[in-house]
Amino acid sequence: MKNISGSASCETCSNQSNNIFRHLTRDELEKISLEKNCEPYKKGSVIYHEGYRITGCYCVNDGIIKIYKTGIDGKEQIINFAKKCDIIGFRSVLSGEVACTTAKVIEDSHLCYIPGETLIQLVKQNGEFSMDLMQLACKELGEANAYITDIAQKTVRERLAEVILLLKNNFQLDNEQFLQITLTREELANIVGTATESVIRLLSEFKSDKLIELHGRRIKIIDVKGLKKAGNIF
Amino acid sequence: MKNISGSASCETCSNQSNNIFRHLTRDELEKISLEKNCEPYKKGSVIYHEGYRITGCYCVNDGIIKIYKTGIDGKEQIINFAKKCDIIGFRSVLSGEVACTTAKVIEDSHLCYIPGETLIQLVKQNGEFSMDLMQLACKELGEANAYITDIAQKTVRERLAEVILLLKNNFQLDNEQFLQITLTREELANIVGTATESVIRLLSEFKSDKLIELHGRRIKIIDVKGLKKAGNIF
DNA sequence: CGTGTGATTGACGCCTGTCAACGTCTGTGG
DNA sequence: CCACAGACGTTGACAGGCGTCAATCACACG
């Protein structure tokens, strides 16, 4: 069953301008195209686990993965999501530490595995690629710092509104204004850093306030400006 | 008044094993040694300001700098501290974005300025240095993620205990068990993400519980194990 | 149809933020 | 030398946001 999508070569994939591999030479692309290993992952499967050493990183072909840390009493704190074109696990590969997060599939995915040594070699030999990856890390660092500030200073209500808008920016809306990602109430709570019940109550509030509509797990965005106001975003 | 400490060459400085520049060649070291610009900064002076473009990064020779973001109502959220051997501002230089934090001196410092182009050039040409800097960024990213989890899940009391221990690890204790960094109550609050009054009350609690002693702004650590327990740290 | 997971609602209470008042200390200027 | 301002620390009162617990409902799946 391996290499199901193996035929989709990195040469094609890297044409996407937002891809991290855009500055690789033809030779380098061929190399990782040969070495990589594209496999399907079912919803619920764990790609790598916090506290364990990982030997390589993964490039997301399609699907959605949640990246989370396990905190007090096993409560998960969602740090990030990865989708098409994103690369995950490189942090631990490069820092040489064990994984500090767990990556779990929430929508069926195809991931290309890239061995750690390959990645490190590319960093060392290709200055442009190195810069790109560095920029990626720095961007994530900036986002993390921003989120620390939010979570430390904003109310749960404000954070929930903000998270909904963040999800909108990350995953877009379909043509009916529905968020293109569906999460359980508990997962929403684990992003915002609150209790499931609070998320439920606040979502109802947003619904009463005509900011969103709820259809099961699907969230329809009605009033972006109102959400920004509720989220204290300028 | 420029180059007051300019005589202290990077060649010497980089001998410290924890320095980011340890993998530079002799030529590269000479180059930044020539280009750098070491200046004294008084307590309270701002090194770079959130939202403004910065043209280079700074290597800390001595002193202490706080790195913070400005959140709602101008309340500052302290993200990090920099001390001897640390390098600050590289995130914005590399990502090409405006600074996402402000850096302000809290203990008189000497900083060496390194032009952005120099840093970028080094990243591109020296794979080992690139890896080191990447590891630094990745390490900071890991710490930021850990702090997100803490701040989202722990109580203010737990976070304060944890912060005291973090400060202990970062700045050590003197021979009387005093923290080697002195912060105002407000600054402590701005790390923990709480109100000044809460910090005051909780510090008194820790004092009653014989975990710490307070002498003005100086904090004496009495019971590390107790603090760990209070901070829910394992 | 039983079981399990997730969603919802209500009750309750505590943690913690806010406001206000006051004390302390330092530096400045008359 | 004293008065005053300003920054910082401390304490008390108070309310409300939000976490916790418990019960119930909805829905999917074997």
pLDDT digits (tens, 9 = 90+) for A207-228: 999 999 999 999 999 999 999 9
Domain check: are A93 and A202 in the same one? no
CA atoms of B87 and A202, how far apart (whole Å)? 42
What tokens appear for B97 in the block? Answer: 């974005």
Indicate the pLDDT class of residue B10, thresholds 50, 70 and 90. confident
On whether both A69 and A96 belong to a single domain, the answer is: yes
pLDDT at B3: 43
Longest Cα–Cα distance in chain A: 57
In a domain, B93, yes or no: yes
Phi, psi (rounded to 5 degrees) for A54: -120, 145
pLDDT tier at B15 (50, 70, 90 boundaries)?
low
Summarised one tens digit per residue, pLDDT across range B50-68 is 999 999 999 999 999 999 9
CA distance A205 to chain B (A): 22
Res B105 pLDDT > 70: yes
Rounded Cα gap, residues A199 and A203, in angstroms: 6
Average pLDDT, chain A: 91
Number of domains in chain A: 2
Q: Among A116, A150, A184, where does a domain finish?
A: A150
Residue A3's pLDDT is what? 43
In-domain check, residue A3:
no
Residues B101 and B194 in one domain: no
Model pLDDT, residue A14: 61
pLDDT of the residue at A44:
92
What CATH number does the domain containing A63 carry?
2.60.120.10
The dihedral built from the CA positions of residue B190, B195, B199 and B205, taken in this order, carries a sign that is: negative
Q: Are residues B145 and B161 in the same domain?
A: no
Contact A78, A147 (CB under 8 A): no
pLDDT at A45: 93
* Separation of CA A221 from chain center: 21
* B217 part of a folded domain: yes
Question: Closest approach of chain B CAs to the CA of A2, in angstroms?
Answer: 31
How far is A109 from A222, CA to CA, in rounded Å? 29
The residue among B106, B134, B150 that closes a domain is: B150
Q: Are residues A64 and A89 in the same domain?
A: yes
- Regarding whether A203 and A120 lie in a shared domain, the answer is no
Q: Are B130 and B68 in contact (CB under 8 A)?
A: no
Chain B contacts to A (CB-CB under 8 A): 69, 71-72, 75, 77, 79, 91-92, 94-97, 100-101, 120, 123-125, 127-128, 130-131, 133-135, 137-142, 144-154, 192-193, 232
B130 touches strand D (CB under 7 A): no
pLDDT of residue A234: 84
Which residue, B150, B185, B201, sits at the end of a domain? B150
For strand C, is any atom closer than 7 Å to the CB of A75? no
pLDDT of residue A131 exceeding 90: yes
From first CA to last CA, the distance across chain B in angstroms is 49
Task: Give the per-residue pLDDT at B7.
Answer: 46
B149 with A69: Cβ contact below 8 A: yes
For residue B129, pLDDT over 50 is answered with: yes
Per-residue confidence (pLDDT) for residue A8, from 0 to 100: 60
Question: Which residue gives the smallest C-alpha to C1' distance to C25?
Answer: B216
* B229 contacts: CB under 8 Å, gap ≥ 6: none
Residues in chain B closer than 8 A to A74 (CB atoms): none
**Is the domain of A40 the same as that of A72?**
yes
Q: CA B13, CA B21: separation in Å to the nearest integer?
A: 9
Cβ–Cβ of A149/B120 closer than 8 Å? no
pLDDT of residue A232: 93
Position A11 pLDDT exceeds 80: no
Task: State the CB neighbour count (10 A cutoff) for residue B5.
Answer: 14
Asked if residue A5 belongs to a domain, the reply is no
pLDDT in tens, B168-208: 999 999 999 999 999 999 999 999 999 999 999 999 999 99
Give me the percent of chain A exceeding a pLDDT of 70.
Answer: 94
What's the average model confidence in pLDDT over B99-113?
Answer: 94
Using an 8 Å CB-CB cutoff, list chain A residues near B66.
none
Average pLDDT value for chain B:
91
Could you tell me if residue A2 is inside a domain? Answer: no
Q: Specify whether B33 is located in the same domain as B79.
A: yes
* A67-93 pLDDT, tens digit each: 999 988 889 999 999 999 899 999 999
Type of residue found at B79: I
A163 shares its domain with A130? no
| Residue B5 clears pLDDT 50, i.e. is over it | no
Confirm whether B171 is domain-assigned: yes
Q: Would you say residue A2 has pLDDT above 70?
A: no
In this complex, the answer to whether residue B203 has its CB under 7 A from any atom of chain D, a nucleic strand, is: yes
Higher pLDDT among residues A76 and A15, named by residue: A76
* pLDDT score at B188: 97
Q: Does position B131 have pLDDT exceeding 90, yes or no?
A: yes
pLDDT of residue B34: 86
Domain span at A216 = 154-230
Q: Which nucleotides of C are covered by protein (CB under 7 A)?
A: 6-11, 15-20
Long-range contacts of residues A210-213, Cβ cutoff 8 Å, at least 24 apart: A211/A161, A212/A164
| Nearest CA-CA distance, residue A176 and chain B, Å | 33
Three-state DSSP at B223 gives coil
Report the CATH number that the domain containing residue A196 is assigned in CATH. Answer: 1.10.10.10
Residue B5 covered by a domain: no
Over the stretch B139-156, which tens digit does the pLDDT of each residue have?
A: 999 999 999 999 999 999
Q: Please say if the pLDDT value at position B132 is more than 90.
A: yes
- Nearest alpha carbon to residue B152 among A10, A198, A133: A198
Q: Are residues A160 and A99 in the same domain?
A: no
Q: So what's the pLDDT on residue B14?
A: 61
Residue scoring higher pLDDT (B18 or B233): B233
**Within this chain, do residues A139 and A178 fall inside the same structural domain, yes or no?**
no
**What pLDDT is stored for residue B1 in this prediction?**
40
Four-CA torsion A178, A176, A207, A79, nearest 10 degrees: 10
| Cβ within 8 Å, pair A71-B151 | no
> Is the whole model's pTM more than 0.75, yes or no?
yes
| Domain assignment of residue A173, yes or no | yes
Mean of pLDDT values over B96-118: 94
- Within A48-195, where are the H helices? 90-95, 116-125, 127-153, 156-171, 185-192
Sorting pLDDT into bands at 50, 70 and 90, what band is A7?
very low
Percent of chain A with pLDDT over 90: 80
User: Quick one: A131 and A53 in the same domain?
Assistant: yes
Give the pLDDT band of residue A18 (cuts 50, 70, 90): low
Give the count of alpha carbons within 13 A of A4, CB side only. 8
Reply yes or no on whether the pLDDT at A143 is more than 60. yes
